[in-house]
Structure 1
Amino acid sequence: ELLIDVEDKLIRKKYVSSLDIEILAAKLTHVETTEDLKLAETILEKFRHTPEALDFQQSLAYSLIRNYLDLGQKERLLPILNDKVKYGIFLDRFSANLLLNAFLLEKKYKEAAQVCIDLMLQDQDDDQLTRALGLNACYNYYLIATEEDFKNTIVEEDDEDIVKVKVQFVRNLTNDDHYDLMDKRKLLGKTIAYLTRDANNSSLYSLQILGNILYKKFGRVCDILQTILDNAQLQVDEGIMKILEKELDAYVYNPEESKENLPQSAYRRLELIPEAARDIIKEKLLPQLRERNKIVSLDLKQFVETNLIDQAKLADKRDTSKHEQQINIWSRERQEQFDDQIHRFVIEQKKTNLMERLRLLEERDELLNFFE
């Protein structure tokens, strides 16, 4: 009934407040069919393109995530999170942790990695628990991923459904290497590198190297290896180094492919070209690492599991109070929205009453002056 009421307001009045959408999201656990969920998603999409979407609150994403999890429909969240223009849902630390945990408990590493990529693109993982969850998801996904998983799939539409309309279009003349990044392997690599950007031990540095290998940033690998050489406490995993050597040997410069790619954005950092990085790594850094016995066997799979457990224990102590504080903030914001909506309603009622009184006065004036 609530779904129908909100949809009716959107269609008939062309107005739905963000508070209405929040109430709708909070009541999603009462839906009975997937058709109801589809209707809720359609309402969210329509609301996203109204002026009232400017009042969009972060608590909406949290309510949406929690209720989809309660309904056992977490997979439906992935396309919603992926399409920011259509739905505009951005994860906060609490909703991200809930969703990642749900996928990891079922060992759905691919889906969890997609959530991590979304967080990386939004530059949102300052929470240590989120990083630990993300690292666990991404590394485990890397271990089980196949070449098929990294292929970009193109959804072909039926010719009958395609309607071509001529519109003004601004072409993208450069590649920002972030939002323009479409290669699934590079996205996973960039996410792993991002999650380990504050590395402080051998395992994290090894994973950071893996991320940059997948991301094809061999110049950054040079920097990391030099850091390991300069620090007596650091070592690097031999399995990661084998992957690095394999990738370096397999790399072949393709001038035709380079011509097809968009030029690099002027705002991107300068990088060593792969050929130069390969020479530095193979001729200088690798021999030094071997000479100093820096290449050892590390159990990275065990590390990501242990790291997650350790961070979860710390989070139990510090995050409960932060979560409560955030809930209180959201409750206060919703109350402010509610008060504002009541205020608007009262003003609208007064306007309606004034217009009605004005109409009655005009009618009486017309009667009084009928014979003049």
Structure 2
Amino acid sequence: MWSSVRSSTRPLLRLRRLKNPSRTFLSSSYPCIDAWNKRFDSPLLSKVNPSDMFLELDQKYQSTGSLSAVDVDIFANTVRDDERSDELVDILHKLRLTMQTTSTLDSTHHAVIRYFLERDEKTLWDILNDRLNYGIFPDHFSYNLLMDTFIKQKNFASAAKIATLLMLQEDQEHPICNALAVYSCHKYLENTENWGPPPPSPPVNPKEEVVRVRVRYLRNPYFDDHFDLTDPKHLVGKTFVFFGKSMDDALGRSLILRGYVLWGKFESAAEMAQGWFDGNIEGVVYKEVLELVRKDLEGVDEQKAGEHLQKMKEVMEKLQGMILKEGDMEIQIEERVKKAVAEREKGDIELQCKLYEEWEKTRMDHLQKQLIEINNQKRIKNIEDMKKDLQVRERLLTFFENEEKLELQIEEKLKREDEKYGPPIELKEDEEDNYIPPEVKQHSNKTHI
């Protein structure tokens, strides 16, 4: 009876989800928009002109090759216009090339992410995905804000991209981040058109001329199976495995099983499933995940996968004969997101509002330290200039008293130069250059007469 009730209500639940075109889990107060916009009222940021500041930062980098982390933070927190996008990207890259990149403030990461999230999502992903050149890393609040925004837009591909960053950073400390990451990847797999594998490299034309370049050494090919992953299914699969291992239940095991398959680790998936079968775990995985795994295996190259794929299929048949977990995985994933949001959302909002105030104080403290350092450098330079001036004046005033001593020093210096470079070469006058034709002589004599 209960099975018939579940089967009859499941389609209704799915229809109910489809009716909500802008699904979101976080409340409208979570972004803390009012608290974030208060930064423009601060005595410091309210006086900054982003256009003039960009020119100053660019000139400083061109002349000294360095930038101040607090100056970049001020610029990142004051830009509002869309046309400042390229300028902000340029300044971030230049800061990354300096030693001050290690002093990048937390508010800089947050400001950059919020700016590009509102104006240019493509550039945002380029920056987040190129950590070497830009050095921008989201915090937990930013992760939640990014994924929830993309989920609300039904842009599950972008939400899944953000979720994979958590896996790459091996970060599972925040429950809302973990739940949203799993939900984003699960929804992305329903439609993978917006994020596909990178295009293959073009084939080499044998008729083209080969250009050989001498290099100092050749790097051996290396694939770390983590940061080098580029295929979306591999990234999403490893994300499932990463978060699934922190869950000791049917949902976690289901995520691990499907994750290994998407990742292409059929041997690990078969060993894991065989252990579950030997342990005779009741409700080991969701019945739904077995169908999803079968669909994921349809496009796999059997020759490339080898015997591990066949072993995986055999273990799948064993799992099919066990008592599996009934229900809808998506509903369970959504419930976990709701539970995490109910427990942590209020605390996140309070903490973030406090952080905004602390960031303003931290920015002022760093700026004061920078001004003190600049003043100290000016004083040191002034003292050195005064010393040089006093030395010159002392030489002028004591010249006649130390004339003999100075002459001896000059002779010793010339002697050392002769020993090092040899005696000076005497240059003979070029007779041809000094030759005066007879006509000119006669003409000159006549003029004198």
Cα distance 1:154–1:355, how it changes in 2: closer, same or farther (>3 A)? Answer: farther
Query: In the alignment, does 2:143 pair up with 1:96?
Result: yes
Cα distance 1:244–1:311, how it changes in 2: closer, same or farther (>3 A)? Answer: same
Aligned to 1:28: 79
Could you tell me how far apart the structure 2 residues matched to 1:23 and 1:368 are?
A: 51
Identity of aligned residues (%): 25
1:291-302 counterparts in 2 under 5 A?
Answer: 291-294=321-324, 296-302=325-331
The one-letter code of the counterpart of 1:300 is: M
Aligned residues: 341
Among 40, 43, 64, the residue aligned to 1:13? 64
Among 342, 345, 348, the residue aligned to 2:374? 345
Could you tell me how far apart the structure 2 residues matched to 1:155 and 1:8 are?
A: 39
Could you tell me how far apart the structure 1 residues matched to 2:274 and 2:320 are?
A: 13
Report Cα offsets for 1:36-57 as digits up to 9, x if no partner.
2102111111110112212223
Cα distance 1:89–1:254, how it changes in 2: closer, same or farther (>3 A)? Answer: same
Q: Residue 217 of structure 1: CA displacement?
A: 1.7
1:309-328 counterparts in 2 under 5 A?
Answer: 309-323=338-352, 326-327=355-356
Could you tell me how far apart the structure 2 residues matched to 1:248 and 1:104 are?
A: 27
Query: In the alignment, does 2:149 pair up with 1:118?
Result: no
Could you tell me how far apart the structure 2 residues matched to 1:193 and 1:290 are?
A: 21
Could you tell me how far apart the structure 1 residues matched to 2:280 and 2:351 are?
A: 36
Aligned to 2:307: 275
Q: Residue 101 of structure 1: CA displacement?
A: 1.8
Could you tell me how far apart the structure 1 residues matched to 2:222 and 2:375 are?
A: 51
Cα distance 1:283–1:208, how it changes in 2: closer, same or farther (>3 A)? Answer: closer
Aligned to 1:239: 288
The one-letter code of the counterpart of 2:74 is: I
1:159-308 counterparts in 2 under 5 A?
Answer: 167-168=215-216, 170-226=218-274, 228-229=276-277, 230=279, 232=281, 234-246=283-295, 251-254=300-303, 275-276=307-308, 278-279=310-311, 281-283=312-314, 286-287=317-318, 289-294=319-324, 296-308=325-337
Could you tell me how far apart the structure 2 residues matched to 1:73 and 1:251 are?
A: 36
Could you tell me how far apart the structure 2 residues matched to 1:14 and 1:227 are?
A: 58
The one-letter code of the counterpart of 2:378 is: Q
Could you tell me how far apart the structure 2 residues matched to 1:346 and 1:164 are?
A: 53
| CA RMSD of superposed structures (Å) | 3.1
TM norm structure 1: 0.79
Q: Residue 191 of structure 1: CA displacement?
A: 1.5
Could you tell me how far apart the structure 2 residues matched to 1:300 and 1:284 are?
A: 21
Q: Greater Rg, structure 1 or structure 2? A: 2
Q: Structure 2: which 5+ residue stretches go unaligned?
A: 1-51, 203-210, 402-449
Could you tell me how far apart the structure 2 residues matched to 1:368 and 1:339 are?
A: 43
User: Structure 1 residues 49-58 or 316-325, which shifts more?
Assistant: 316-325
8 Å CA contact 1:117, 1:191 repeated in 2: yes
Structure 1 SS opposite 2:172: coil
Could you tell me how far apart the structure 2 residues matched to 1:203 and 1:41 are?
A: 41
Q: Residue 202 of structure 1: CA displacement?
A: 2.1
Could you tell me how far apart the structure 1 residues matched to 2:111 and 2:70 are?
A: 12
Could you tell me how far apart the structure 1 residues matched to 2:342 and 2:329 are?
A: 20
Q: Residue 192 of structure 1: CA displacement?
A: 2.0
Query: In the alignment, does 2:80 pair up with 1:50?
Result: no
Structure 2 SS opposite 1:200: coil
Query: In the alignment, does 2:178 pair up with 1:131?
Result: yes
TM norm structure 2: 0.67
